[in-house]
Amino acid sequence: MAYDNNSQKIVDYIQNFARKHSLFVLAYGTGCGAIEIPPTMTSRYDAERFGIRGAATPRQADVLLITGYLATKTLKRVIRTYEQMQDPKYVIAFGSCTINGGMYWDSYNTINMLDKYIPVDVYINGCMPRPEAVISGFVKLQDEIQAGRADGWKKYQDNLEEYRANQKKIIKNWTMPDFNW
């Protein structure tokens, strides 16, 4: 088959359609937002209706859910986890504290802007966001995936040096292996 523009569009459409309906979320509760994940996943709100379910390891996950503030010690592990995940991968930042620091804007141990360290596709604000808000955030991510706009992982590859500089500013003892894809 000749690779013209139109058939590429069809392939993209099918790919994106498949991706958006099976979002495997990494089971990593980085902050207090993890408390609203069990209600979202269980009977009343039942996120599995949207094809959202948990994955145990980074290699099998599509979505990294940053549930709340990130302490600098966790940031190191989050970066490592994010780099272990396979493309395409998406990041949902959960809670006001990932946007601008929220309650902990003057804390010496938590970062204030998550998108300076790893690319973020969708932000969900609130402290704490309700399960409805979480689901709405996921639906927004699905729309973005379908439209082909959820390309944070490409941004990370393109601007790796900039992200690395920001990360190394905080993580003083950098002992992680180099990221290559």
Instruction: Report in angstroms how near the CB of residue 124 gets to another protein at its nearest.
Output: 14
Print the binding letters for residues 111-150 with another protein: x by CB under 8 A, - otherwise: xxx--x----------xx-x--------------------
Nearer to another protein, 51 or 54 (CB): 54
Instruction: Say how far apart CA 181 and CA 99 lie, in whole Å.
Output: 28
Helical spans, DSSP H, in 21-159: 37-41, 72-84, 96-100, 131-147, 152-158
27 lines the binding site for another protein (CB under 8 A)? yes
Is 169 a binding residue for another protein by CB under 8 A? The answer is yes
Q: Are 37 and 52 spatial neighbours (Cβ–Cβ below 8 Å)?
A: no
Rounded Cα distance, 73 and 77, in Å: 7
173 is a contact residue toward another protein (CB under 8 A): yes
Task: Determine the length of the chain.
Answer: 181
Minimum CB distance to another protein smaller for 14 or for 170: 170
Q: For residue 181, which of 157, 150, 151 has the smallest C-alpha distance?
A: 157
In whole angstroms, give the CA distance from residue 74 to residue 41. 24
| One of 4, 106, 161, 178 touching another protein (CB under 8 A) | 106
87, burial (CB in 10 Å: exposed 0-12, middle 13-18, buried 19+)? exposed
What type of residue is 81? T
Q: Which of 16, 23, 25, 36 touches another protein by CB under 8 A?
A: 36
Which of 54, 88, 136, 151 is the binder for another protein (CB under 8 A)?
Answer: 54
29 binds another protein per the rule CB under 8 A: yes
- The residues binding another protein (CB under 8 A) are 26-32, 34-36, 38-39, 42-44, 54, 56, 58, 69, 71-74, 76-77, 81, 99-101, 103-113, 116, 127-128, 130, 166, 169-173
